[in-house]
Structure 1
Amino acid sequence: MACITPYYYKVDETALIEHYEAVSKAISLPVFVYNTPSHTGVNLKTDTLAKLVKKHLVVGMKDSSRDFHQLVETIERLPGDFLTVNGTEGYVLPAFLVGARSAVSALSNAIPEIFLGIYDSFRRGDFRDGLQLQRKLNRIRRITDRAPLSSVYEILRERGIECGNPRRPFRPMSRGEMTRMLVDLKQLRAF
């Protein structure tokens, strides 16, 4: 189960650890930290994460911090069985190269092929192909970032998967925004 850090009120390290202790004791599932400081205002540092691991409170982390240095530090400092999942689309291939186990993002739900392609290229050791796909993903992101979450819904709808509209505060894309995005994505052969 992925669990974000407490948000809104700033808390100290002791409170963060107690938060994950409470979650870990309340459920019988493995707990992943979901580090997404752009949404919570709290960036879970590697030192704190190491304490959570030492207490056997978490088994992994989805890191959406957008801090590659911190991702590398986490992978290098924590035990080999700790599962580090990259949540930042801008460096999927580099994250695999330094030891991330997987990549999960909103866009990977809508266009999984490119993420699988990057992973397969990494596994084959074909870094030239992986780099081309990473660059393509970065171009796709520049298009979808015009309407970050709403774009995922529209891509899924275009692919025949009806999933309604994003919940507030997000809004559905206008017809013009959607048309422009789909034209741009089709020019890139995004899917």
Structure 2
Amino acid sequence: MFNGSGVAVVTPFKNGEVDIKKFEDLIDFHINNNTQALIVLGTTGEASTLDNEERELLIKTAVQKVDKRIPVIIGTGSNNTAASVTNTKIAEELGADGVLVVTPYYNKATQKGLIKHYTEIAGATKLPVILYNVPGRTNVNINPETVAELAKIENIVAVKEASGDLSQVLEIKRLVPEDFKIYSGNDDNVIPIYACGGHGVISVIANVIPKEFQKMCSLFSSNDLQGALQLQLKYKKLIDLMFSEVNPIPVKAAVHKLGYIDNELRLPLTPIEESNMMLLVEEMKNLQIL
């Protein structure tokens, strides 16, 4: 798949519609700033508010615009296994390089149910599948033993780990094959997860500082551990501010301040509170991003 910093890219809106021109501009921005993979239709992309036509338009646009320069990974998960299978097949037909599949939310699942869920999805495609574990949103955790069992399936190749539990990450690393990739799903955990044997990050803040976050990953990979740690610490406050309200409210505000998109979200999400915007802008200025 990829090593380093992949961006969970925001979806630009204008007057209630997907703004494809701005989406294409974002893709150019990321490729020009060393982002290693483009993740479309994730949480940060407000995928749950998009209809099927919009989803397909974004996939087609990403695949065509990227033109194989970096991997295009599509979020295809839902709490309905059949729908996840359909989404995955569509992503494959439209030229995606891989899929990111979140655990079922709301109805949840047992570990046995998770194995069956992911087995069905992986069996319906030839694409590489990345498991997405984010129990803070789904209230479901993929246990390390379950990840190891799923890693036996040839095209389940990685996990995006957003549990925040480094002991769990270490146990996953202990149990899975050497070539199975572990990506941080939390921007403040990238260096700790690298230290646990990880391979990079699927990032929110890379929407704002793609070059800097990829540099951090590259420094760790080239054994400049102190340099990598210094960048993680440098951007720690900004990362925290990106989650001052639910993602992607702050990050869309930040990308708007950079001039790339309108600060428009779809309900039930609403624009950032003015007090949080002031703190965000202040820190971006402190870091000379603005």
* TM-score, normalized by the shorter chain, greater than 0.5: yes
Task: Give the structure 1 partner of residue 114 of structure 2.
Answer: 16
The farther-off stretch of 29-38 and 181-190 is 181-190
Q: Distance in 2 between matches of 1:17 and 1:124?
A: 36
1:1-191 equivalent positions in 2, closer than 5 A: 1-56=99-154, 58-147=156-245, 148-162=247-261, 164-190=263-289
Q: Distance in 2 between matches of 1:51 and 1:124?
A: 31
Flag the 1:177–1:88 CA change in 2: closer, same or farther, 3 A: closer
Q: Which amino acid aligns with 2:112?
A: T
Deviation of 1:185 (Å): 2.1
Q: Distance in 1 between matches of 2:227 and 2:185?
A: 21
Q: For residues 102-141 of structure 1, give each alpha carbon's deviation from its aligned partner in whole angstroms, at most 9, with x where no partner exists.
A: 1112222222133112112213322222121111221112
Q: Distance in 2 between matches of 1:55 and 1:180?
A: 45
Whether the 8 Å CA contact 1:20–1:57 is kept in 2: the answer is no
More helix by share: 1
Flag the 1:62–1:140 CA change in 2: closer, same or farther, 3 A: same
More strand by share: 2
The higher relative CO (CA closer than 8 Å, separation ≥ 6) is in: 2
- Where 1:34 maps in the other structure, the secondary structure is strand
Equivalent pairs counted in the alignment come to 191
If the length of structure 2 is used for normalisation, what is the TM-score?
0.61
Structure 1 residues without counterparts, runs of 5 or longer = none
Q: Distance in 1 between matches of 2:130 and 2:194?
A: 18
Deviation of 1:70 (Å): 0.9
- Where 1:182 maps in the other structure, the secondary structure is helix
Structure 2 residues without counterparts, runs of 5 or longer = 1-98
